[in-house]
Structure 1
Amino acid sequence: MASGATGGSQLSAFCAVASFLWLGHSIESHQLIEQPRVSSILVLLTAGAFSYAASHFWQWLPGSNGRFDDEGGSLRPAPASLPKRPRRYFLPVLIAAIIFRLELFHRVTAGLQCSSPGVEAFLPLVILFYELLPGRRARVGSTKEPEEENDPGRTTWDDVADWVAESKQSLTISTFFISLGAYLASSQDMRSTYICTSFDNSTLVRSLQWLGLFLDGVIVILLWRVLAWARTNKSRLISLSVVFLASAVGSGFLYTSLRMFLPSVPLSHHFKGIDALYVFDVVTDGFAVAVLFVSASLLTTEKTPLSLVGIFTFISGLVVGWGKLKLTGGAENTMHGVAYLAIVLICLGTSIFVYANNIQRVVLIHRTILVALMFISLIAATIVAFSNNRNDYLFEHPIETMIFKARTNYDRYLTHAAASKFLPVAVNEYKARYGGRDPPPGFDEWYKYAVDHKSPIIDDFDQVVHDIRPFWGISPSKIREDIRRVAKEPGIALLKVANGTASHSLSRDSEHAMVMDELVKMANKFAQHLPDMDLPINLDDRPRVLTPWEDVRRFTEKAKKKGFGKFLTKREEEEEPTSQPLDLLQPSSSISVRKFQEMTALTCPPGTATRAGIHWDVRDFCLSCVRPHSKGTGIFLSDFAVSQSICHQSDLFHLHSFFFTSPAVPPLRDLVPVFSRSKTSSYSDILIPIPTLDEVLNKANTQPDTSDFDLKTPALYWRGAQAPQVTDELLHGGHQERLVHLVSDNSSSSETLMLIPQNEVRSRAAYERVPTSLLNFLLPFDIGFSSVSSSSSEDSPNEFTTRGSTLPPSPNPLQNQYLLSLDPSPGSSSSSGSIPFTTALKSTAVPLSSTLFVSWYTTRLQPYLHFIPLDIRFHSLHATLAYFTGLKGKASAADRLGNTKGAMINGREVRLKSRTEEAKWIAEQGAKWAGSALRREDEEVYLFRVLVEWGRVVREDRDEAKYVAGAKEAKEVKG
C-alpha cells in the first residue's frame, strides 16, 4: 500500500512538473497571449471544467486520498506537514486574491517594457517567510530513532547531515541559493529598444510586480491550506473547480466593471474570433492548468508548498541557466560568469534543499541520484564556461569580413546578371533560368532597348519573375476581370497601352496626375512594341495585395506545371476562388490594427514564428528573431534579404510603424494584379519603378553630389517626421521613435552591445555591454525629428513633443559622411528633411539603410559594398558607426575637460581606430553603381521587361506565345 501511494505521488509530481514546463514553453507561441484578458477567463473556465470532470474519477487518481480513506472512513493521522485547519473565509479570500492577481498581471503586461525580469524567481523566499513565521507547525524533520541520537559511532558528516535536514538555516540558505540562481539566469537578457517612456511610470510597474509576487505567495499558501484539509480527493477537486470557475466569473465581472467606469478605454474587446486554433489553444492550456493544479493538490498532504514551488523554480532556473551558459562567449551572452554562477547556486541550493525539506524523490529521481546529477551538472557547467570563454575573442571584425565577401559576391553577381552579350545567348540564358520556358514575344525588342541604353543588367530579372509567377496559375480571363474590379478601388489608376500608345485614366486635376504623366512618358518610349493591356497602378504609399500564403502557394504550384504556363481546363477555371466584388469596399472603410496584423501573419507559411502569433515580450531582445539573418556575425546583419522577411520575426509587429498603423483602405485579400512602387515580403504586388510626386517636382534640381568625402562632416545624419496620428504603440515601438530615443537616451540603466578592442598589441576584440549614454556622447549622431505630431491622448502623451527633441533639417544634408535611410511612418509628411535612399546612394556619402521594403532595384544592390545594412531593431547601430568613425581620440563622458587620449569604457581606456578609407570606398562604389544601374534609363528597361512579361500572361494563348529566334519581330506561334 505504501509502495502504491509512493508511486502515485511520484506520478502526480511528474504530471505537475510536465504541465508546468509545457505551459512555460508554449504560452508565448499561442495566440492566447494576444488577447490576455479574454483568454485568461476562458482558460480558467476550461480548467474548472476539467477539474470538475476529474472529480468523478477520483478513485483512479494517484496520491493521498485526503484526510479520510473514503467518504465514510475513519480519520487518518495527519502528517506533520499538514497545515492548521483553514478558516471559513479562506476560500472567498483565495478567489479574490486570484482575481486581483490577474488584474495586476494585465497591468504589468501593459507596461512590460518598464518591468524587471526575473522577479518571479523569488517566490520560494516568500513561501519560506511564511514557513518561518512564529506559530507555524514544526516541519518534517529527521526520521532518526532515539538510540541513533546517542550513537557513539556518529561522525562529523552525520552531524552535518542532521543540520542540513533539520535546521532552519540550511533551509533558508538553500532556498536563497535557488531563488538567486534562477533570478541571475533569467534577468541577464538584452533589452529590446521598445521604449519605456517617462510617462510609463516604471516605478509603479515594478511595484506592481512585487505586489503580484506577494499575492502569488498568498494564493499558493491559501490554496494549500484549503485543499490539504479536504475530506477526500473528490471534495478536493470539486473545491479546486469552484476556485477556477469563481475566479473566471469574478475576473470577467471586474473587467466589465472597470471598462464601464473608464470611458477612455473601449468597452468592446477586439476578438479574433472562435476559430479552431484559438479553441484548441484554450482547451490545451486549460487542460494543462488543470493538470498542474490537480497534480499539485494531490500532493498537498505529502508536500509543503515550499517543496513544490522550490522544485518548479529549480527546474525552470536550471533550464534557463544552461540555455544562457551555452551562449557564453558570443554576442548573445556577454555577462561572463553570471550564467555559470546561476548554475552553481542552483545546483548547490537544490542539493541542500531536498534534504532540508525531507524530499525523498524529485519526480521519479531519488534525491541521492539527484544530488549526483547536480554535481555532474556543476562539473559540466565549469567545462563549458571555461571552453566558451576561450573562444570569446574575435581577431577579425565581422563587418570587415562581410565587406570582403561583398566584393566577391558582387563580381559573381555581375557575371551572372550580365552574361549575355548577344541575343541568342540571352534567349538561352532565359530558358536556363526559368525551367526551359521560352522568352515572351517582344523579348528581342526589349533586349535591343536594354543594350542600346547600356543597361548593366541583362539576365537577372528574378524579381519580375517572382512577382508575376503566381498569376500563371490564374486564367487570363479571370485576370482581366480582376483588373476591371481593381480599377474601381481608391488610390488605383490605370496605365493603358492600346495601339502602341500609353495613357492613363486620371483626370488633369487629380493630385496624382503628374506621377501618372511621368509613368506614361516612360512607357511611351517602347509602347509600340507592346500588346494592348491595362495595368492597375497603386498610387498609395502602402502596398495593396495581402494574399494568404495558402492561396499564393496554390496558384504558384499551378504555374509550375508546364513551365509556368498551364492551359487551365474548364474544371480548373471553375475551381478558381470567387471573391467578394472588390468595388464593395468603400473608400471610407478601414480595418483595425489587430485585424491587419492577423491578415499579415496569414501570409507566412504554417509553422513560422509570425504565423504562430505576435511576439508579446516587448521588453526583451528576441534572439531567435535575429539569428536567421545575423548568423555568425554576432549583432551585425549578415543577410539583408532574409532580414526583410517578417515570417521569422514576429517581434516586428511591435517594432515598425507600418504594422501598427491601420491602413486607410483595407488590403486586397485575393491574388489580383496591382503594380506598386514598393512592398514588404508579405505582399503580392508587382513591383515597377513608379516615381514619387517629390521626384517629379524636383526632377530638375536632382543633381548628383560630387563633393569630396574627406571634406564632409563625419556624422550620421537623419531627419524624419512623425505620423500625424500618435498612438500608444507608435510612441513605444515606432521604428523612427525608437531610433530617436536610442541616440538621445541618457539614462544610467540603458546598455548597448559593442565590439570593443581588448588590447593595443594584438587585434583582439570582444563583445561588451556599454552604457548607451556614453556611446551617444562618443559617436557623431545628428539624428532627430524635424517635426512631431501634437495629436496624442492623455494616456499616451507625446514624449518627443514634451521634451522638445526636434531638430531642423540641415541646409545641405549631403555634406555628412554618413546618411541613414529609414522607412517613413505611414501618413507622415514628405517634407521632413529625410533623404531618399537612392539620393543617398548616388551621393558621395555612405548610405546606411534599415528597411523592410523592397523596390524594383533592391536585388541589384550589394550590402556592405554599395551601402551598409542595419537591423530594424537598431541594436547594432552604435557598433556599426563606431567601426567606421572609431573611438580613438574621443573624450569620455568623465573627461569632458580635454582628455582626448582615448575613450574610457568599462573602466579602461579604449582606442578604436577609424576606417575612413573603407567608408570612402563604399561611398564611391555605391555612387558608381547607382550611376550605371539606377538611372532613368534603367527604370525604363525594368518597366519594359515587366510589361513584356505581363503582356504574355494576359493573353488567352499565353502557353504558345513566345519569342521566335531569327524573326524581325515577336510573333505568336501556334503549336
Structure 2
Amino acid sequence: MASGATGGSQLSAFCAVASFLWLGHSIESHQLIVLLTAGAFSYAASYFWQWLPGSNGRFGRRARVGPSTKDSEEENDLGRTTFDDVADWVTESKQSLTISTLFISLGAYLASSQDMRSSYICASFDNSTLVRSLQWLGLLLDGVIVILLWRVLAWARTNKSRLISLSVVFLASAVGSGLLYTSVRMFLPSVPLSHHFKGIDALYVFDVVTDGFAVAVLFVSASLLTTEKTPLSLVGIFTFISGLAVGWGKLKLTGGAENTMHGVAYLAVVLICLGTSIFVYANNIQRVVLIHRTIVVTLMFISLIFATIVAISNNRNDYLFEHPIETMIFKARTSADRYLTRAASSKSLPVAVNEYKARYGGRDPPPKFDEWYKFAVDNKSPIIDDFDQVAHDIRPFWGISPSKIREDIQRVVKEPGIALLKVANGTASHSLSRDSENALVMDELVKMVNKFAKHLPDMELPINLDDRPRVITPWEDVKRFTEKAKQKGFGSKLLTKREGEVGEETPSAPLGIQQPSSISVRKFQEMTALTCPPGTATRAGIHWDVRDFCLSCVRPHSKGAGIFLADFAASQSICHQSDLFHLHSFFFTSPAVPPVRDLVPVFSRSKTSSYSDILIPIPTLDEVLKKANTQPDTSDFDMKTPALYWRGAQAEPVTDELLRGGHQERLVHMVSTNSSASSETLMLIPQNEVRSRAAYERVPTSLLNFLLPFDIGFSSVTPSSSYPSELTATLPASSNPLLNQYLLTLDPSPESSSTSASASSNHPTFLSTLRSTTVPLSSTLFKHWYTPRLQPYLHFIPIDIRFHSLHATLAYFVGLKGKASAADRLGNTRGAMINGREVRLKSRTEEARWIAEQGMRWANRALRREDEEVYLFRVMAEWGRVVSEGREGMKYVPKEAKR
C-alpha cells in the first residue's frame, strides 16, 4: 500500500480488507474461542513465513529526501505554479494528514449516527457525563492497544517471530478475557455477559473456525502491511470503506422514513470522499488494495457527483399521497373475505372431509369427525376448515410413539402448575383437589369437555395453568420429529422456509425429561435462541446495540420503511428480531419453573413462537370469577373519551434490566412528557393543505405526548429511590376503562396470573375489549387459540412491541391539533406547531368506529364460548388419535362405507 509496494503486499492488502469486511458481517458472540482459534492459525502461519510478503527487518518509515536539499531545488524552480504548491501541501504537510483523517472520521461518524434511538431506557437511569467519559476512555484505550501491538510487532526481526508474537498476543487476550469473565460471574453473577447461543454442533464449529481464520488473516496481513508505514494507512482505509458504504446506504434512503436527516448523509459522503482523496496522497499510499490512487481519487469525484444527484432527487420526490394505515385497512377487508372463503368453504360433511385431506397432505380426518362437524354446525361456528394451528401444534408428536407420549404425560403432570384432564368412558374429570386455587378453572374446562366427551376415546391431557408456556424444544429436535411424521404420511410443512436448506436427519427416540432445579435469565435466553433455525438473527445471538433502533429487525414485518406494523403474524416470530431479548419482560425474567426442553405434550392457553405447547382455550381464574357479573359494553363510540387508555402494575422482583427494557416500563417512559424531552419520534406529517401529500419527519416526543390524548401509566409500583419519577408516579385506574375510545392491551407480566398487570389493575383483557365498542390496540408476542381468526386493521390495531409506531398510529385516528392554539375567526381550531410550522392532521373517527364495530361483531360471531368448545373438540379428537396404538390406520369412515 506504500510507495513501491509489491504485488505480494497488494495481496496482503486485499486479504486484510476482505477479512475485515467478512468479520464485520459474520462474527458472533464467541470471542474467547475465536481468539484461541486465531492464535492457532497465526502460529501455524509462522511455519510458512518465507512465503509471506513484507520486510524481514524491523519496522520503520523510510527516510525522506533531505528537506534542505529539496527546498533549495524547489526555490530555484521558476516554473512552479500554485497547483504545485497545493500538491506539495497535500503530500508533505502534516496538516493535510490531520485534516484528511478528521474528514474521514467525521464523515463516518455522521453516516453511522443517524439511526433512530430505541425505546430502551437509558437517560433516566444513567449519568450521561460518566457514560460519555467512559466512551472516550474506551476510544483512547483502543488507540493505545493498536499502537502498543504495532510496537510489539515492530521489534520482531523476522516474519516468523512476528507471527509467533501475534499468536502469543491472541492467547494472552483469550486467557485474560476468560479470567475477567470468570471473575465477574463469580462476584457479580447477575451481570449479563455475552455468550454464544449455538451450542457445540457442526455449524458452531464451522463458524468458530471461519471467524478465527478471518481474524488471523486480518492481523497477519495488517502486520505485514505495516512494515513500511504506521497502522494509520490501514485504519484509514478500513474507516473509508465502512463509512462510505454506510453513507451511501443512508443517502439512498434520504427523504424516506428510514432516513429523514436531510443533508447529513450527503455531507457524510462528501467528507469521506474529500478526506480519502487527501489521505492517500498525504500518507503516500500508491494503491488502495489493488487500485491505483489516481483511479481512487477519480472514483471519489464521480461519487460526489452521483451523491449530489441522488440527494436532490430523493429530497424532491419522496412523498406519500396515501397513508400506509389507510392502505392496510382497505386490504384488511379483502383479506378477511378471502379468509372466510378458505375457513368455511365446506357446506356439507363430504366436502369438509375432502377439504381436510387437501389441507393436510391426503390424511383422512380422525374418527368421529362427523360428530365434530355436526357439533360445529349446530353451534353455528363460522370456521369449519381452518384449524391449521391445531395441525401445527400436534404434527411433531406424530414422530413420537404413542407409548412414549403416554409415558411423558405421566412425567410432566408431576411438574408444578400442571393439572391432568382425563377422559374415560365418555366422561371428563381432572386431578385437582377441591382446595386447589385452580380447581374452579379445571371445573370450567371439564364442563366444556363434557359437552362432547361421549364422542372421544379415552385420553389424558396435561393442562398448564400458568401464564408462561412450558415446552421450549430446540429447532433441530422439532424438525426431526416433524420429518418422521411426514414419513408416516402426515404431510404439510411445519417449520420456516429455511427447513429445506437443512439436510435430512436420522430420526431418533426422544429423550427423557431433563429438568433443572432452577434456570438463569441467560440460560433461558439461550434456550429460546436455540428454537430458531440456524442462520437466523436470533440464533446467532442477542442484538447488542440497545441504544439504536434495529431497523433490520422490524423491516420484514413492517410497511415500507419499517414504521407501521403490516404483518402481524410475522411480528410475533422472534427469530428475525434478536433485539427483543432487551425489549420484553418475558425474556429477561427468570421463570419460576424451568421450561422443559424435550418435546412433551403440554396444553397451554398461550405461547410465543419459540414454544411447542399445544394451544387450547383455558379460562383464567379471573374470567371464571367474573363470568356471572360480566355485562357487554354497548355504549356509543362517540360518547366515549377520545383517549388511549392503559393501566399496569409493576410486578416483583424488579431488576435493573426490567426497568430499562421492560415493555410496560418502556411504554410509560415513552409517553411521559418529563422523560422524553431529548428523544424524537418518527411521524408521517402532511406537507401542505392543497394536496394530500405527506413525508416522514422527526418530531420531539415530548411535543407529541402533549398533543396526543394518552392516559397511560402504572396504577401501582414497587417503591424505590432509584426509579425515575415517571415510573414511580402512579395514576388511578378508571372505574370503567371501556369508556375510552381506544384501549391498549399488552402482554401481562411474566409471573403467574395472580400478579399479572391485567389482574392487578383491573385492566380489560384483549377479548373483553374486542367484544366492546372500544377500539383495541394490541402489542403482543403471544399467540392464543383465536389468533389466526383475527384480521389486523379490521378487528383491532396492531402495535409493534417497540412502540415506535404508537404515536404515528394514534395520530392517524385522533388527528393533530394545537391544544393551546386559539380558534380563528371562522371557529376552526388551528393546527399544531410542529418543526416550526403549523400542521393540520385530520382525525379518522369514522374508521376507528368501524374497526370497533367490526371487532365486536366478529368476536360475538367467532370467539364465543361455543367457538371455544368447537376448537377444543377438534384438538381432542386429533389428540385421541395421536396417543392411540395403531393410529396410522385410525380414520373417519362414513356410515355408508361401514354398511
CA distance in 2 between counterparts of 1:45 and 1:853 reads 41
Percent identical: 84
Q: Is the 8 A contact 2:565 2:798 kept in 1?
A: yes
1:62 aligns with 2:53: yes
Give the Cα separation in 2 of the matches to 1:394 and 1:143. 66
Aligned-pair CA distance for 1:265: 6.2
Q: 2:262, 2:69 → 1: CA distance?
A: 43
Q: 1:267 to 1:353 in 2, by over 3 A?
A: closer
Structure 2 SS opposite 1:821? strand
Q: Which consecutive residues of structure 2, in runs of 5 or more, have no partner in the other structure?
A: 493-505
Q: Which residues in structure 2 correspond to 1:139-218 (within 5 Å)? A: 150-218=76-144
CA distance in 1 between partners of 2:58 and 2:874 (Å): 83
Q: Secondary structure at the match of 1:887?
A: coil
**In structure 1, C-alpha distance between the alignment counterparts of 2:888 and 2:39, rounded to whole Å:** 61
Q: Which residue of 1 aligns with 2:511?
A: 579
| Aligned twin of 1:14 | 14
User: Does the CA-based 8 Å contact 1:492-1:539 persist in structure 2?
Assistant: yes
After superposing the two structures, state which structure 1 stretch, 920-929 or 804-813, moved more. Answer: 804-813
Counterparts of 1:239 and 1:59, CA distance in 2? 16
Correspondent of 1:855 among 781, 784, 789: 784
Distance 1:269 1:403 in 2: 42
The answer as to whether partners of 1:185 and 1:320 remain within 8 angstroms in 2 is yes
Between the aligned partners of 2:491 and 2:277, the Cα distance in structure 1 is 68
Alignment match, 1:815? 739
Does structure 1 residue 624 correspond to structure 2 residue 542?
Answer: no
Q: 2:799 aligns with which of 853, 857, 870?
A: 870
Q: Matched residue of 2:712: which SS?
A: strand
Matched with 1:674 is 602
Specify whether residues 213 and 688 from structure 1 end up closer, same or farther in structure 2 by C-alpha distance, changes over 3 A only.
Answer: same
CA contact (8 A) 1:164 1:356 kept: yes
CA contact (8 A) 2:521 2:587 kept: yes
The one-character-per-residue Cα deviations of 1:679-722 (angstroms, maximum 9, x if unpaired) are 11111111111000000000011111111111111111111122
- How far apart are the structure 1 equivalents of 2:112 and 2:782? 35
The residue that corresponds to 1:765 in the other structure is: 694
Matches within 5 A, 1:563-642: 563-564=489-490, 576-580=508-512, 582=513, 585=515, 589-632=517-560, 634-642=562-570
Indicate the residue corresponding to 2:345 in structure 1.
419
Q: Which residue of 1 aligns with 2:26?
A: 26
How far the C-alpha of 1:676 sits from its partner, in A, is 0.8
CA drift at 1:618 = 1.2
Deviation at 1:539, TM superposition (A): 0.8
Q: 1:148-204 CA deviation, whole Å, 9 max, x = no partner?
A: 664444333223212221223322322221111111001111111111153322221
Quote how far apart the aligned CAs of 1:147 are.
5.0
Match of 2:428 in 1: 502
Q: How does 1:916-931 map to 2 (within 5 A)?
A: 916-931=845-860
CA distance in 1: counterparts of 2:68 and 2:100, whole angstroms: 17
**Equivalent residue letter for 1:61:** L
Q: Deviations over 1:892-946 (max 9, x none)?
A: 89xxxx9952211111111111101100110011111111111111111111111
In structure 2, the partner of 1:116 is none
Alignment of 1:520-559 (within 5 A): 520-559=446-485
1:515-556 deviation per Cα after TM superposition (whole angstroms, max 9, x unaligned): 000000011111111111111111111111111112222222
- What is the match of residue 373 of structure 1? 299
On the 8 A contact 2:461/2:602 being kept in 1, the answer is yes
Shift of 1:745: 4.9
- The letter of the residue matching 1:183 is Y
**Cα 1:196–1:143 shift into 2, 3 Å:** farther
**Which residue identity is paired with 1:915?**
R
8 A contact 2:197–2:540 mirrored in 1: no
SS in 1 for 2:776: strand
In structure 2, what residue type is equivalent to 1:388? Answer: N
Cα distance in 2 between the residues matched to 1:682 and 1:141? 70
Aligned partner of 1:805 in structure 2 is 729
Q: C-alpha offsets along residues 443-478 of structure 1, whole Å, 9 cap, x if unaligned?
A: 221122111111111221111111112222222222
Residue 613 of structure 2 corresponds to residue 685 of structure 1: yes
Secondary structure of the residue aligned to 1:332 is: coil
Please, which of 643, 661, 673 is the counterpart of residue 733 of structure 1?
661
What secondary structure does 2:565 align onto?
coil
Counterpart of 1:514 (choices 412, 436, 440) is 440
**Number of aligned residues:** 875
Match of 1:842 in 2: 771
Picking from 558, 566, 576, the partner of 1:648 is 576
Root-mean-square deviation (CA), in Å?
3.0
The aligned amino acid for 1:488 is K
Residue of 633, 650, 672 corresponding to 1:705: 633
- Mapping for residues 293-442 of structure 1, pairs under 5 Å: 293-442=219-368
Q: Larger deviation: 378-387 or 342-351? A: 378-387
Residue 718 in structure 1 maps to residue 642 in structure 2: no
TM-score (norm 2): 0.91
Name the SS for the 2:888 alignment partner. coil
Aligned letter for 1:31?
S
1:284 Cα deviation after fit: 4.3
Q: CA–CA distance in 1 between the matches of 2:788 and 2:861?
A: 15
Q: Following superposition of structure 1 onto structure 2, how do residues 821-836 of structure 1 map, counting pairs within 5 Å?
A: 821-827=745-751, 828-829=755-756, 830-836=759-765
Q: Give, in whole Å, the separation in 2 of the partners of 1:252 and 1:862.
A: 50
Q: 1:900 to 1:565 in 2, by over 3 A?
A: closer
> Pairwise mapping of residues 881-960 of structure 1 onto structure 2 (< 5 A)?
881-891=810-820, 901-960=830-889
Give the secondary structure class of the aligned counterpart of 2:365: coil
Give the counterpart letter for 1:931 in structure 2. Answer: N
2:678 corresponds, among 745, 749, 761, to 749
8 A contact 1:891–1:902 mirrored in 2: no
Alpha-carbon distance in 2 for matches of 1:523, 1:12: 72
Distance 1:575 1:413, change over 3 A: closer
Q: Which residue of 1 aligns with 2:499?
A: none
Deviation of 1:863 after TM superposition, in Å, equals 0.4
In the superposition, relative to structure 1, how do residues 245 and 412 fare at CA in structure 2: closer, same or farther (>3 Å)? closer
Q: CA deviation at 1:598?
A: 1.3
Shift of 1:864: 0.1
| Alignment of structure 1 residues 231-246 onto 2, 5 Å | 231-246=157-172
State the 1:343 CA deviation.
0.8
SS at 1:724 equivalent: coil
Shift of 1:6: 2.1
User: Are the aligned partners of 1:80 and 1:140 in contact in 2 as well (CA < 8 Å)?
Assistant: no
SS, match of residue 371 in structure 1: helix
SS in 1 for 2:886: coil
Structure-1 separation of matches of 2:185 and 2:600: 42
Aligned mates of 1:724, 1:884 — CA distance in 2: 36
CA contact (8 A) 1:66 1:236 kept: no
Alpha-carbon distance, 1:953 to partner: 1.9
Quick one: which amino acid aligns to residue 154 of structure 2? A
1:816 positional shift: 0.5
Q: 2:399 aligns with which of 450, 470, 473?
A: 473
Of the three residues 188, 200, 208, the one matched with 1:275 is 200
In the alignment, what sits opposite 1:786? Answer: 715
Closer/same/farther in 2, CA of residues 467 and 244 from structure 1, 3 Å limit: closer
Please, which runs of 5 or more residues in structure 1 have no aligned partner? 33-38, 69-77, 82-137, 567-573
User: Contact between 1:544 and 1:667, CA under 8 Å: does it hold in 2?
Assistant: yes
